[in-house]
Amino acid sequence: GQNIDQPTEMTATEGAIVQINCTYQTSGFNGLFWYQQHAGEAPTFLSYNVLDGLEEKGRFSSFLSRSKGYSYLLLKELQMKDSASYLCAVTYNNNDMRFGAGTRLTVKP
C-alpha cells in the first residue's frame, strides 16, 4: 500500500510556530508535496521536496528525509488566515499522486 499518515487536527496560537508531520511508504517514492486547502476551496500548492533537507519559502518551510519516509511542514509567525487543512501528497514511480487525509489547523488569537 501507499499509506500517508498525518495528524487529523492541530491547534496553535497566532504568532506561534507549528510543525505538521507526515510519514509515508518509501518504496517507489518520487516526490512529496504540501497543499493548503481552505474550507470549501480547492487545494493550492505550497511546496515540493524531492531531496533530503529543508526548503524554505517565506513563513512556510518543508523538510524531507527520504530514508525515514518523513516530512514536515513548518509554519512560522502564524496568522489567523493560516487556519486551513494541510494535505501531504506523495508521487510514486507509477506516476500516482496519493494524498494523506489532511491536517486541520486552527489558529487561535
Partner 1 sequence: SAVISQKPSRDICQRGTSLTIQCQVDSQVTMMFWYRQQPGQSLTLIATANQGSEATYESGFVIDKFPISRPNLTFSTLTVSNMSPEDSSIYLCSVDLAASPDTQYFGPGTRLTVL
* Contact set with partner 1 (CB under 8 A): 31, 33, 40-45, 48, 50, 87, 91, 95-102
Least Å from the CB of residue 43 to partner 1: 5
Burial of 6 (0-12, 13-18, 19+ CB in 10 A): buried
**For partner 1, which is the closer residue by CB, 80 or 101?**
101
Pairing of the two strands 60-65 and 103-108: unpaired
10 Å Cβ neighbour count for 103? Answer: 20
* Residue 81 CB, nearest approach to partner 1 (Å): 19
Complex with partner 1: residue 51 or 109, whichever CB lies closer: 51
C-beta of 11 vs 13, nearer to partner 1: 11
CB of 19 to partner 1, least distance (A): 19
Residue spans of alpha helices (H) in the chain: none
Question: Smallest distance from the beta carbon of 48 to partner 1, in angstroms?
Answer: 4
